[in-house]
Amino acid sequence: MDDHLTVGRLAELAGVTVRTLHHYDEIGLVTPSARTAAGYRAYAAADVERLRQVLTYRRLGFGLREVAELISDPRADAVAHLRRQRELLVGQREQAAALIAAIDKELEARAMGIKLTPQEHLEVFGTDKVGGEWAAEARERWGDTDAYQVSQRRTASYTKEDWTRIKAEADAVRDGFAEALRTGLPASGARAMDLAERHRQHISQYFYECGYPMHRGLADMYLADPRFTGHYESAEPGLAQYVHDAFHANADRHQPAG
Amino acid sequence: MDDHLTVGRLAELAGVTVRTLHHYDEIGLVTPSARTAAGYRAYAAADVERLRQVLTYRRLGFGLREVAELISDPRADAVAHLRRQRELLVGQREQAAALIAAIDKELEARAMGIKLTPQEHLEVFGTDKVGGEWAAEARERWGDTDAYQVSQRRTASYTKEDWTRIKAEADAVRDGFAEALRTGLPASGARAMDLAERHRQHISQYFYECGYPMHRGLADMYLADPRFTGHYESAEPGLAQYVHDAFHANADRHQPAG
DNA sequence: CCTTGACCCTCACGTGACGTGATGGCGCAT
DNA sequence: ATGCGCCATCACGTCACGTGAGGGTCAAGG
């Protein structure tokens, strides 16, 4: 009774109710590895660790049935779990950040006395949807590994190296734009438009299908969102506007009537 | 039927099921402001907006009963809602970030063949608990609006100008580091340490109390998280490591025994 | 005009993850 | 031996929908 915990103790430790532990025992999700003579549940260190995994996955939006599958997956060791959990958490964090950005945008608009278009309001739904069904999406992704790389909009599971490459390419494009601006080339010139096209293809390859209409949207976003604006403005004043114009010029070139 | 939406359309738009909208209608949470002759639900723009509020609060972990109270609170206008939602989202984002940090820590430890102490394992429970009851905590906090402004740790509601200044300062520090690295100054030299200190005070002023131990944590983080790494590496190769070393050197200077 | 298929309606029971007692057995201190 | 707190097992309640069943509505095409 010294290296084993009672339900009450474990519940307090883990921040859940006793009933929850009973429930997990009932459905066989976290079963105490021993019982006292009187029938008291006795949780060992390994049980605590298992509960920790369970609660982590639960927090990520998985149902208990799914959690059971995940943690009993024989081809996944502790590190694999941690990597998976990390990814999902990054997704959650990004999602929260996206919603914060949307709210900032709206607050800003209201502060300036501008009413946003219904279109812009719907962004929240969009991100919200992705958010609410994040786990579901993740599940689908793990289902078939073929369509996975192809159709996903988000950053899936890039390795550190991938990110480094992505960042490098993004910076290369930015620096290219900065130089074009400094040397006085027009935003609608061939050099700027080529850089815009390179950027569009980069986004398409690593993030999501980005057609010309969507690329136009990105251009506007880069002017509207201070974070993105800062990314370009910090390299060269006026660069955000320049990039914006180049994106649109490039879109005009490939798909007139925009 | 032109400015009104049917259930199906709204459901798709909002990323929820038709059944959910039926349910919200049943309990009087989001009731369509009109019905067609055939009895079809007809949602007007105001209804859509209300649904948006509902889904936002729901996403933040509130029960529908609570959501109903929140959005029918007469002393809260749209901006107040947005500010509240923003705060809760910042909390969620921080919480996710905290868990990511905890996982990074464990992954790092495992990579180095170190087993963490049970103490450290329990951190996850701690943050998890805070997370699960985030909404409850938030509710308590709103009890007194005085402590509210004071005790907030994060970025609350910075203006666009604030963000621009913040970004500018961050870039100035980065460029300073880059130059120091290029000119061959050591990471433990006066120039680098002064920049580190400037960075720390910047963080403390605009974001959160950042003591030397926490600044050390940030240093490690900058090497661990590819986005932060990219921020520095893109300016100059090897800069992330350099900055990391400078932070630690600076911390050593002010608080030995680290 | 009439069919067809996609959409809509209202019951109404099912489900997942527990909450909330009810009733009774340990275990230790006074 | 007698509280008092914690433990056990039923067993029903709840919340936010899911999932059909059975039947009306509507726009498009034959």
CATH number at residue B28: 1.10.1660.10
State whether B129 and B178 are in the same domain.
no
Mean pLDDT of chain A: 74
CA-CA distance, B49 to B21, in Å (whole number)?
14
Give pLDDT, residue B155: 36
Give the mean model confidence (pLDDT) for residues B23-40: 97
Give the model's pLDDT for residue A210.
Answer: 59
Residues B145 and B194 placed together within one structural domain of the fold: no
**CB contact set of A61 (below 8 Å; sequence gap of 6+):** A88, A134, A135
Q: Are A210 and A244 part of one and the same domain?
A: yes
- Are the beta carbons of A128 and B13 separated by less than 8 Å? no
DSSP character at residue B236:
S
Which letter, b or e, does each residue of B99-122 get, where b requires 16 or more Cβ atoms within 10 Å of its Cβ? bbbbbbbbbeeeeeeeeeeeeebb
Tokens of residue A54, six digits: 């369970």
Question: Residue B144: which pLDDT band, with cuts at 50, 70 and 90?
Answer: very low
A232-243 tens-digit pLDDT: 777 777 788 898
Measured in Å, how far apart are chain A's first and last C-alpha atoms? 73
Structural domain includes residue A51: yes
B96 shares its domain with B46: no
Cα separation of A163 and A160, whole Å?
A: 5
Stretch A38-49: mean pLDDT? 94
**Through-space separation of residue A162 CA and nucleotide D5 C1' in angstroms:** 57
pLDDT-based confidence at residue A99 (cuts at 50, 70, 90)? confident
What are the structure tokens assigned to B155, written together?
A: 């970025």
Query: Which residue carries 């040397």 as its tokens?
Result: A183
Q: Which of A45-54, A211-220, B98-107 has the lowest mean pLDDT?
A: A211-220
Q: Which residue has the higher pLDDT, A179 or A205?
A: A179
- Which of A56, A106, A125 is the closest to B15 by Cβ? A125
* Of B243, B185, B175, B184, residue with least CA distance to B215: B243
DSSP-assigned beta bridge partners for residue A32: none
What is the Cα–Cα distance from A232 to A242, expressed in whole angstroms? 9
- % residues pLDDT > 90 (chain A): 26
Confidence check: pLDDT of A175 > 80 = yes
pLDDT of residue A160: 44
> Which nucleotides of chain C are near protein (any atom < 7 Å from a CB)?
7-10, 16-20, 25-27
How far is CA A244 from each of CA A212, B151, B166, B222, rounded to the nearest angstrom? Answer: 13, 40, 23, 30
For residue A122, list chain B residues with Cβ-Cβ distance below 8 A. 13
**Across all strands, nucleotide nearest A54 (CA–C1'):** C17
User: Is residue B181's pLDDT more than 60?
Assistant: yes
Nearest CB to A93; choose among B100, B157, B226? B100
**Probe site for chain A from B13, B100, B159, B174 (most A CB atoms < 10 A):** B100
Q: Are residues B107 and B167 in the same domain?
A: no
Nearby residues of A196 by Cβ (< 8 Å), 6 or more positions away? A215, A243, A246, A247, A249, A250, A251
The CA distance from B105 to B221, in Å, is: 10
Of A208-217, B73-82, B131-140, B200-209, highest mean pLDDT: B73-82
Answer whether residue B137 shows pLDDT above 50: no
Total count of domains within chain B: 3
Residue A225 has pLDDT above 70, yes or no: no
pLDDT of residue B114: 58
Does A138 lie in the same domain as A165? Answer: no
Residue A2, in any domain of the structure: no
Residues B247 and B168 in one domain: yes
- Asked if pLDDT for residue B25 goes beyond 50, the answer is yes
**Chain A CB contacts of B107 below 8 Å:** 79, 82-83, 86
What is the per-residue pLDDT for B124? 63
Q: What is the mean pLDDT of residues A47-52?
A: 93
Helical axes A45-59 vs B118-132, angle rounded to 10°: 30
The residue type of B237 is: P
CATH number of the domain residue B235 falls in: 1.10.490.50
Asked if residue A38 has pLDDT above 70, the reply is: yes
Between residue 9 and residue 68 of chain A, the positions with Cβ below 7 Å from nucleic chain D are: 9, 18, 22, 25, 39-41
Are B128 and A14 inside 8 Å of each other by CB? yes
Among B130, B151, B172, the domain-final residue is: B151
Q: pLDDT confidence of A7, banded at 50, 70, 90?
A: very high
SS3 state at A84? helix
Residue scoring higher pLDDT (A4 or B3): A4
Statement to judge: residues B34 and B64 lie in one domain: yes
Quote ipTM for the complex. Answer: 0.61
> Is A204 inside any structural domain?
yes
Q: Which of A85-94, A171-180, B111-120, B169-178 has the lowest mean pLDDT?
A: B111-120
**A54/A64 Cα distance (integer angstroms):** 8
3-state SS record for B102-136: HHHHHHHHHHCCCCCCHHHHHHHHHHHHHHHCHHH
State residue A68's pLDDT score: 95
B199: nearest Cα among B226, B161, B228: B228
Residue A81 lies in a domain: no
Out of A82-86, A104-108, B224-228, least confident range: B224-228
Residue B28 CB lies within 7 Å of the nucleic strand D: no
- Asked whether residue A137 is domain-assigned, the answer is yes
**CA B149 to each of CA A25, A123, B153, B199: distance values in angstroms, whole numbers, following the listed order:** 44, 29, 9, 24
Output the pLDDT for position B140: 40
B91 vs A144, more confident: B91
- Determine contact, residues B215/B248, Cβ cutoff 8 Å: no
**How close, in Å, is residue B256 to chain A by CA atoms?**
33
Q: Is the pLDDT of residue B153 over 80?
A: no
**A148-152, A195-199, B36-40, B83-87: which range is least confident on average?**
A148-152
Does the structure show a pLDDT above 50 at B154?
no
* Assigned domain for B81 exists: no
Q: What percent of chain A has pLDDT over 70?
A: 63
DSSP state of A5: B
The Å distance, CA of A129 to C1' of D21, is: 29
On whether both A123 and A165 belong to a single domain, the answer is: no
State CA A75 to chain mean position distance. Answer: 25
Q: Which one of A44, A71, A98 terminates a domain?
A: A71
The mean pLDDT value for A8-29 works out to 95
Q: If pLDDT is split at 50, 70 and 90, which confidence band does B67 have?
A: very high
Amino acid at residue number A113: G
Task: Give the per-residue pLDDT at A165.
Answer: 57
By percentage, how much of chain B surpasses pLDDT 90?
Answer: 34
Statement: residue B60 has pLDDT above 80:
yes
By CA distance, what is A231's nearest residue in B? B167
Q: How far is the CA of B122 from the C1' of C12 (A)?
A: 45
* A223 neighbors A241 (Cβ within 8 angstroms): yes
Inter-chain residue contact B160 with A226, CB threshold 8 Å: yes
Check whether residue B140 and residue B219 sit in a common domain: no
Closest CB from A83, A100, A226 relative to B90: A100
Output the average pLDDT for chain B.
75
DSSP code for A111: H
Q: Residue A108: what pLDDT?
A: 64
Residue of B nearest to A117 (CA): B45
In whole angstroms, C27 C1' to B138 CA is: 40
**Distance separating alpha carbons of residues B243 and B181, to the nearest angstrom:** 9
pLDDT of residue A239: 84
- Taking an 8 Å cut-off on Cβ atoms, the answer to whether B230 and A164 are in contact is yes
Calpha distance A176→A71 (Å, rounded): 47
Tell me what the mean pLDDT of segment B105-122 comes to: 62
Residue A34 placed within a domain: yes
Mean local confidence (pLDDT), B62-86: 86
**Most confident option among A184-198, B17-31, B181-195:** B17-31
> By residue range, what is the domain housing residue B98?
86-151
Decide if pLDDT at A29 tops 70: yes
Is there a contact between A52 and B121 (Cβ–Cβ < 8 Å)?
A: yes
**Considering only A206-220, B35-49, B142-156, which range has the smallest mean pLDDT?**
B142-156
Checking if the pLDDT of A51 tops 90, the result is yes
Are B59 and B135 in the same domain? no
Q: Say if residue B173 is in the same domain as residue B248.
A: yes
* Residue A84 counted as domain residue: no
Which residue of B82, B122, B226 is in closest CB contact with A13? B122
**Residue A138 near residue A88, CB atoms below 8 Å:** yes
